[in-house]
Structure 1
Amino acid sequence: MVTTERVESKEQLDEAYRIRMEVFVNEQGVSPDVEIDEHEEDAIHVLVKYNGEPAGAGRIRVVEGMAKLERICVLAQFRKHGIGAAVMEELEEVAREADLPKAKLHAQTQAAGFYERLGYKADSDEFMEEGIPHIRMIKKL
Structure 2
Amino acid sequence: MEVKRITLPEDLEHAYRIRKKVFVEEQGVAAEVEIDEHESQADHILVYYEGEPVGTSRVRNVDGVAKLERICLLPTHRKHGLGRLLVSELEAIAREKGLKKAKLHGQVQAKAFYEKLGYTAVSDVFIEEDIPHLLFVKEL
TM range, normalised to the smaller chain? over 0.9
Q: TM-score, normalised by structure 2?
A: 0.99
Q: TM-score, normalised by structure 1?
A: 0.98
SS at match of 1:81: coil
What residue identity is the alignment partner of 1:68? K
Q: Stretches of 4+ moved more than 2 A in 1?
A: none
Q: Distance in 2 between matches of 1:14 and 1:75?
A: 15
Aligned CA RMSD, in angstroms, stands at 0.5
Structure 1: give runs of 5+ residues left out of the alignment.
none
Q: CA deviation at 1:82?
A: 1.1
What residue identity is the alignment partner of 1:93? A
Q: Number of matched residues?
A: 140
Q: Give the equivalent residue in structure 2 for 1:22.
A: 21
Instruction: Give matches, 1:1-141, under 5 Å.
Output: 2-141=1-140
Q: Distance in 2 between matches of 1:76 and 1:47?
A: 15
SS at match of 1:54: strand
Structure 2: give runs of 5+ residues left out of the alignment.
none
Q: Distance in 2 between matches of 1:65 and 1:83?
A: 27
Q: Percent identity?
A: 57
What residue identity is the alignment partner of 1:86? L
Q: Distance in 2 between matches of 1:52 and 1:32?
A: 27
Q: CA deviation at 1:7?
A: 0.3
SS at match of 2:91: helix
